[in-house]
Amino acid sequence: WLSEGSRVNTILKVSAMTNIDLYLLYDVNPPEGFNLRRDVYIRMASLVKTLRKEGDDWVLVLPPWGRLYHWQSSNVHQIRIPWGEFFSLTSLQANVPVIEYEEFIAENGGPFIDQVLVLQNYAEGWTDGKWEEKVDERPCIDKLMYSKDKQGYSRGWFWGYEETRAQNVTCISAQGHASIMSPVLQKNITVTSVMLDRAETLLHDHYAGKDYWDTRRSMVFSKHLRLIGDDFREKYLNSTDDRDHTIYSEDWTRMKAKLGSAKGGPYLGVHLRRKDFIWGHREDVPSLKGAVKKIRSLMKKHKLDNVFVATDADEEELRELRGLLPDMVRFEPSREDLELFKDGGVAIIDQWICAHARFFIGTSVSTFSFRIHEEREILGFDATATYNRFCGDTEKECEQPTHWKIVF
Ligand SMILES: Nc1nc2c(ncn2[C@@H]2O[C@H](COP(=O)(O)OP(=O)(O)OP(=O)(O)O)[C@@H](O)[C@H]2O)c(=O)[nH]1
Ligand SMILES: *[C@@H]1O[C@H](CO)[C@@H](O)[C@H](O)[C@H]1NC(C)=O
Ligand SMILES: *[C@@H]1O[C@H](CO)[C@@H](O)[C@H](O)[C@H]1NC(C)=O
Ligand SMILES: *[C@@H]1O[C@H](CO)[C@@H](O)[C@H](O)[C@H]1NC(C)=O
C-alpha cells in the first residue's frame, strides 16, 4: 500500500495512528543572547501550531539554555539548563505542546536526532533585488558546525549533551516566515525528529499578532523567580500588587489586564544596557552622566523618590554610576542566590522588578528592554509609562520605542 511518491505521507500517517509524536528541535546562532532566543521561541511555537493544524502531532523540544556569551559569572554551572528553571512549563504547555530536551531523550529512546536542517540565506542574495518567500535544499554556504564520528553520525554542540548525535545534516536556504518550513517538514521528511539549526533565520509569522501574543503571554517566568522579585519590591521599593494594581494571574489565559489599569510601584524602573552597547560608541546610547541626568529629571517629573536600576555594566562603570546616583536600588544576589538562579534567573528578576515600576525607561534597541515592554503590556500599564528609552548624549532624532498592543 505504499503508493508511489507517498512514502513520506505514509510514514507520517503511521506515526499518527500509533500516536508517535513528531519532534521539532531547534537551536540559534551561538552569539545570540537570552532575550533574542526568547523571541525565536515565539517563531518556533508558531511553526509547530501550523504543523499541528495540518494534522500531525508535532511537539516542540525546548533547547536547553547555556554557553551564552553574556552569562559569565564564574564557577556557576551554566549549561544544560532546562527551561523549567526560568519559565513555567505548564504555562508554555497551555499554548503549544513542549517538552524539555531530557524528556525527548527518554521518549525518543536515546540521544539521537534523525535530521538536522541547517538554515541559511541564499548564496546569491535577493535575486533582482526582489524579496520573495522561498525555501530550497542547497549546498551549505558556511563551514558546518558538525563533524562525522567513526560510526558516521554527526556530532556537534547540541546544548552540551555530548552523547547526542544526528543521523543526517543538510542545509536549507530559507527566506520567509517560520511557517514556510511547514511543507518541507510535512512532505520532505521521513523521520520523527527534526532539528532546525540557525532558527533565527526564519521570521515571525505575524509579529505582534494574536498568535505572537498568545505565545508571549504563555512565557510566564517560573514562580520562584517572580517571588524573589516580589519580595524585593515589597522590602526595598514599597511595592505590592494590591496597592500597585498589578495583580497577576497564574493562568495566563485569564490574564487580561485593561490597558492603563496598572499603577505600578512608587519607583522609576531603569534598564541601562552597557558592555557591547557602548563598546561600539553607539550614537543612541547615553554616557552614564547623560543617563543619570535623565533619571533625575524623570524622578522629579513623576514624583518618585526611588529608582531601581537593572544593568549589565562592568565593575568600573558600576562604581562610577554609584557615585553619580548613590540612592539607586539594585538587585544584588548573594553567591548562593547566584548559584541557584544563575545569570539568566537574575536577569529575569531584574526584568520583573522593572516591569512593576510606575514608570520605565530602557535602552535603545535592546531586546532585554523589549521583553520588559511586553511584560508591562501584559500587566496593563499605560503606553506612556512603558515605551521610553534613553537618548544618546548627542543624538539628534531620538525616536522612542513602538507601542505593540496585545491582541487577545
Ligand atoms: N541581570 C542583568 N543582566 C543584564 C542586563 N542587561 C543585560 N544583561 C545581560 O546581558 C545579556 C544581553 O542582553 P540580551 O538582551 O539578552 O542579549 P541580546 O539578545 O543580545 O539582546 P540585546 O540587549 O539586544 O543585546 C542578557 O541576557 C543578560 O544576561 C540587566 O539589566 N540585568
Ligand atoms: C522536496 O523534495 C523534492 C524531491 O526530493 C525536491 O525537489 C524539493 O526541492 C524539496 N523541497 C524542499 C522545500 O526542500
Ligand atoms: C539526508 O537527508 C537528505 C535530505 O533530506 C536526503 O536527501 C539524504 O538521502 C539523507 N541521507 C541519509 C544518509 O539519510
Ligand atoms: C509605602 O506606600 C504607602 C502607600 O502608598 C504609604 O502610605 C507608606 O507610607 C509607604 N511606606 C514607606 C516606608 O515609604
Test site for ligand 3: of 170, 186, 187, 197, most ligand atoms within 8 A of the Cβ: 170
* 241-277 pLDDT, tens digit each: 999 999 999 999 999 999 999 999 999 999 999 999 9
Q: How confident is the model at residue 67 (pLDDT cuts 50, 70, 90)?
A: confident
Q: Residue-wise over 340-367: b if at least 16 C-beta within 10 A, else e?
A: bbbbbbbbbbbbbbbbbbbbbbbbbebb
Cβ–ligand 3 distance for 170 under 6 Å, the answer yes
Which residues on neighbouring strands pair with residue 62, listed in sequence order? 100
Pairwise CA distance, residues 278 & 243, whole Å: 37
- For residue 114, report the distance from its CA to the centre of ligand 3, in Å: 10
Cβ–ligand 1 distance for 33 under 6 Å, the answer yes
Q: Does residue 362 contact residue 311 with C-beta atoms inside 8 Å?
A: no
Cβ–ligand 2 distance for 135 under 6 Å, the answer yes
Long-range contact pairs involving 179-184 (C-beta distance under 8 Å, separation at least 24): 179/46, 179/47, 179/50, 179/205, 180/133, 180/134, 180/135, 181/47, 181/135, 182/47, 182/50, 182/51, 182/54, 184/117, 184/135
Nearest CA to ligand 1 atom 31: 311
Closest CA to 176 of 138, 147, 205, 142: 205
Q: Which of 88-97, 121-130, 301-310 has the lowest mean pLDDT?
A: 121-130
- For residue 306, report the distance from its CA to the centre of ligand 4, in Å: 12
Cβ–ligand 1 distance for 347 under 6 Å, the answer yes
Mean confidence (pLDDT) of the chain: 93
**Residue 8: its pLDDT value, please?**
39
Nearest CA to ligand 3 atom 9: 168
- For residue 167, report the distance from its CA to the centre of ligand 1, in Å: 35
**Residue 375: its pLDDT value, please?**
98
Question: What would the mean pLDDT of 43-59 be, rounded to a whole number?
Answer: 94
Question: What would the mean pLDDT of 316-325 be, rounded to a whole number?
Answer: 98
Pairwise CA distance, residues 55 & 13, whole Å: 10
**Residue 9: its pLDDT value, please?**
40
Q: How confident is the model at residue 188 (pLDDT cuts 50, 70, 90)?
A: low
- For residue 272, report the distance from its CA to the centre of ligand 1, in Å: 10
Is the model's pLDDT at 314 over the cut of 80?
A: yes
Pairwise CA distance, residues 209 & 43, whole Å: 12
Q: Which three cell numbers stand for residue 44?
A: 518556533
Counting ligands in written order, the one closest to the CA of 174 is 2
- For residue 343, report the distance from its CA to the centre of ligand 1, in Å: 10
The residue with cell 554527526 is 154
More confident site: 361 or 7: 361
* 195-242 pLDDT, tens digit each: 999 999 999 999 999 999 999 999 999 999 999 999 999 999 999 999
Could you tell me whether strands 154-155 and 22-26 are parallel, antiparallel, or unpaired per DSSP bridges?
unpaired
**Residue 280: its pLDDT value, please?**
82
* 164-183 pLDDT, tens digit each: 999 999 999 999 999 999 99
**Residue 126: its pLDDT value, please?**
76
Test site for ligand 2: of 6, 188, 194, most ligand atoms within 8 A of the Cβ: 188
Q: How confident is the model at residue 56 (pLDDT cuts 50, 70, 90)?
A: confident
**Residue 55: its pLDDT value, please?**
82
Q: Which of 36-50, 115-129, 167-181 has the lowest mean pLDDT?
A: 115-129
**Residue 20: its pLDDT value, please?**
66
Is the model's pLDDT at 14 over the cut of 70?
A: no
**Residue 186: its pLDDT value, please?**
86
Pairwise CA distance, residues 211 & 87, whole Å: 19
**Residue 11: its pLDDT value, please?**
41
Is the model's pLDDT at 343 over the cut of 60?
A: yes
Amino acid letter, 13: K
Closest CA to 177 of 217, 134, 220: 134
312: exposed, middle or buried (Cβ count in 10 Å: 0-12, 13-18, 19+): buried
> What are the catalytic residues?
32
Ligand 4 binding site (Cβ under 6 Å of any ligand atom) = 238, 243
Cβ–ligand 2 distance for 136 under 6 Å, the answer yes
Is the model's pLDDT at 117 over the cut of 80?
A: yes
Q: What pTM value is reported for the model? A: 0.92
Calculate what percentage of the chain has a pLDDT beyond 90: 86
Question: What would the mean pLDDT of 17-31 be, rounded to a whole number?
Answer: 84
Is the model's pLDDT at 19 over the cut of 60?
A: no
Pairwise CA distance, residues 193 & 161, whole Å: 16
Q: How confident is the model at residue 5 (pLDDT cuts 50, 70, 90)?
A: very low
Q: How confident is the model at residue 17 (pLDDT cuts 50, 70, 90)?
A: very low
- For residue 123, report the distance from its CA to the centre of ligand 1, in Å: 31
Cβ–ligand 1 distance for 120 under 6 Å, the answer no
Counting ligands in written order, the one closest to the CA of 358 is 4
Residue 75's CB: how many other CB atoms inside 10 A? 8
